[in-house]
Structure 1
Amino acid sequence: MIWLTLLAMALLVFTSRYLFLEPRLPLRLNAQAQKLLSYSSPAVLTAIWAPIVFLPEGELSVSWHNPYLVAAVVAVLLAWKLKSVLLTAVISMAVFFLLSFL
């Protein structure tokens, strides 16, 4: 049953991507639908990182003792100032590991 579910999900994802990416198909989205879909990536990413940063142990933790929150704030500030993805990722991970293990 699990394999059937996985195959069905893979087929659904492939079909939905193929319909929009194949240039020979006559399917086109209007400007309003494209604008609406432009918000999906930030929404999905926020849904992934927000619980990790604000609920690290299952309950709300908004203090400087939360290494996830401190590293996230450092990452935001570094990204804003440095404009370098690699440097931001490396430094913010180092900050997180230092705070987690000290």
Structure 2
Amino acid sequence: MIMLSILAMTAIVFFSRYVFLEPRVPLKLNKHALRLLSYSSPAILTAIWAPIIFLPKGELSVSLTNPYLLAAVITALLVWKTSNVLLSIILSMGAFLFFNLYLLR
């Protein structure tokens, strides 16, 4: 039964992607549907990062002792000022490591 569920979910995901990505399929979305789908990536990304930053141990932590929040603020500032993704990632990972190892023991 579990294997059947896994295969069914695999088929659903594959065919839902195939219908929209295969150019020979005659399915075209209108402007409103495309505009609506353009919001899905930021919404999913926010649903991933927000609990990690604001709920690191399962409870709300909005303080200067939260290394995730401090590193997120630094990352946002770096991306805003430099517009360089690689530099921002490297520097923010270094800041997060610094906060975890030395500053917030």
For residue 62 of structure 1, what is the aligned residue in structure 2?
Answer: 62
1:7 is displaced (CA, Å) by 2.5
Residue identity over aligned pairs, in percent, reads 62
SS state at 2:99 partner: helix
Structure 2: runs of 5 or more not aligned: none
Residue 5 of structure 2 corresponds to residue 5 of structure 1:
yes
Normalization by structure 1: what TM-score? 0.94
Q: State the distance in 1 between where 2:93 and 2:26 align.
A: 45
The DSSP-based 3-state class of the residue aligned with 1:11 is helix
Aligned positions of 1:1-102 closer than 5 A: 1-102=1-102
Instruction: Kindly tell me the number of residue pairs found equivalent between the two proteins.
Output: 102
Shift of 1:80: 0.5
Distance 2:65 2:82 in 1: 25
Q: Compared with structure 1, are the counterparts of its residues 10 and 97 closer, same or farther at alpha carbon in structure 2 (3 Å cutoff)?
A: same
User: What RMSD in Å do the two structures reach over aligned CA positions?
Assistant: 1.1
Q: Which runs of 5+ in 1 are unaligned?
A: none
Q: In 2, distance between residues paired with 1:2 and 1:86?
A: 41
The CA distance in 2 between the partners of 1:51 and 1:71, in whole Å, is 14
Distance change >3 Å, CA 2–CA 99, structure 1 → 2 = farther
Partners of 1:52 and 1:68 in 2: how far apart? 7
